[in-house]
Amino acid sequence: MLPGMPLPARPLQIVGSLASARVGRSVPLKVTHLLTYHCNVECGFCTRIHAESGHMASEQVVGMMESFARMGTRWWVFNGGEPTLVKSLGEYIAAGRRLGFHRSMVTNGTRISERIDELRDLDLVICSIHGDRVEHDRVVGRQGSYEAAIRGLELLRSHDVAVCLLCVLNERNRSMMDDLLQLGEQLGAGVAFQPVIETRLGGAEIADGLVPRQQAMAEAVDWLIGEKMAGRPVSCSADYLEAIRQTWPGKPFGLKCWAGRLFCEVTPEGYVVPCCSEEEYVAADRHGPTVGWERAFGALPDRSGCQACWFKGPQELNLLLGLRPRQAMRAASNLARGRLLWD
């Protein structure tokens, strides 16, 4: 399981926002900011890094964060591309702290050590690790990436920053799930597993041989559920794993999606989009620097009927926000212990 984490600021406000969403009001509780599409590695299943990448000025980014804080945002995720390539990242982390956000970052880990003085102020770092040293370095196309990431993660843990490993589960690394859980146990980190997923952004395609077949995925998920029940650090909810087993590789899930109502993403250029499945759908009335951030968020379409992805982040939130008794009890228990809501 993940190490203890601080409770989010203003928990009663969060409860009020969830209640408002249930009656139709949109509140961007969680915002993922894609700082850049540029990356210093090239994972074989990542299509995002092939997209052209602009950027906002640092004062625009800080102003955006302030605007979302006024709208009720409590969780802020720095993502990419590779966010540690962005010079102003430390300034944004400091702004997030000042605004009372729970601050997390998704990274490949290769530049953690050289930016540790800034990154130590994060609440959570999610680091992509895709197998053992040989397999990970092969996947990202850069020798030494695995060892650099592990050194960085150990540094973060020495500064009491919570860490979660993220494995994109595919046909080549299914046999390494136990190795990854052992690594999580050594680091005091959770290990999240997400199926290899193709997005339309960037135009690249995932090699068919990487996509697990139905029986292979079912066996992997059954094993993960068993390990989770045995107390190992599988940082996926049982409901998320069961949903993958039931739907893969057909139409994913059958949940109401809260993208664009309780969470959203912001592209490097400042377009507000519902989620990571729709980053290419930019529109003039959703360009925050031009129309203002509240108006841009308010222009997002209703995606409640979308069944487009198995992405872990959105789907865990959708499961949680469904407020079924089992999910609600688990979330309350985890919140009280300062853990991720879906652990």
Per residue in 105-119, pLDDT (tens digit) is: 999 999 999 999 999
| Confidence class for position 5, pLDDT limits 50, 70, 90 | very low
- Say what the pLDDT of residue 172 is: 87
Average confidence (pLDDT) over 241-246: 90
Per the domain annotation, does 342 fall within a domain? Answer: no
Is residue 196 one of the residues assigned to a domain? yes
pLDDT at residue 252, rounded to an integer: 67
Q: Which residues contact 289 (CB under 8 A, 6 or more apart)?
A: 56, 60, 64, 270
pLDDT surpasses 80 at 204: no
Mean pLDDT of 222-248: 93
Mean pLDDT of the chain: 85
- Supply the range of the domain harboring residue 281: 11-336
What is the distance between the alpha carbons of residues 326 and 230, in angstroms, rounded to a whole number?
Answer: 19
Average pLDDT over residues 267-293: 88
Q: Is residue 219 part of a domain?
A: yes
Mean pLDDT of 287-293: 97
Could you tell me which residue, 193 or 170, shows the higher pLDDT?
193
In this prediction, residue 3 carries a pLDDT of: 46
Q: What CATH number does residue 295 fall under?
A: 3.20.20.70
Per the domain annotation, does 26 fall within a domain? yes
* Total count of domains within the chain: 1
Does 6 reside within a domain?
Answer: no
Domain membership of residue 298 (yes or no) is yes
pLDDT number for residue 135 = 94
* pLDDT attached to residue 6: 47
pLDDT at 56 exceeding the cut of 90? yes
Q: Tell me: pLDDT of 2 over 50.
A: no
Asked if pLDDT for residue 275 goes beyond 80, the answer is yes
Tell me if 341 is assigned to some domain: no
User: What tens digit of pLDDT does each residue of 6-43 get?
Assistant: 455 555 565 565 656 555 678 999 999 999 999 999 88
Predicted local confidence at residue 10, as pLDDT: 57
| Secondary structure (H, E, C), the chain | CCCCCCCCCCHHHHHHHHHHHHCCCCCCCEEEEECCCCCCCCCCCCCHHHCCCCCCCHHHHHHHHHHHHHHCCCEEEEECCCHHHCCCHHHHHHHHHHCCCEEEEEECCCCCHHHHHHHCCCCEEEEECCCCHHHHHHHHCCCCHHHHHHHHHHHHHHCCCEEEEEEEECCCCHHHHHHHHHHHHHHCCEEEEEECCCCCCCCCCCCHHHCCCHHHHHHHHHHHHHHHHCCCCECCCHHHHHHHHHHCCCCCCCCCCCECCCEEEECCCCEEECCCCCCCCCCHHHEHHHHCHHHHHHCCCCCCCCCCCCCHHHHHHHHHHCCCHHHHHHHHHHHHCCCCCCC
Q: What's the pLDDT score for residue 208?
A: 61
- Can you give the pLDDT at residue 4? 45
Residue 163 inside a domain? The answer is: yes
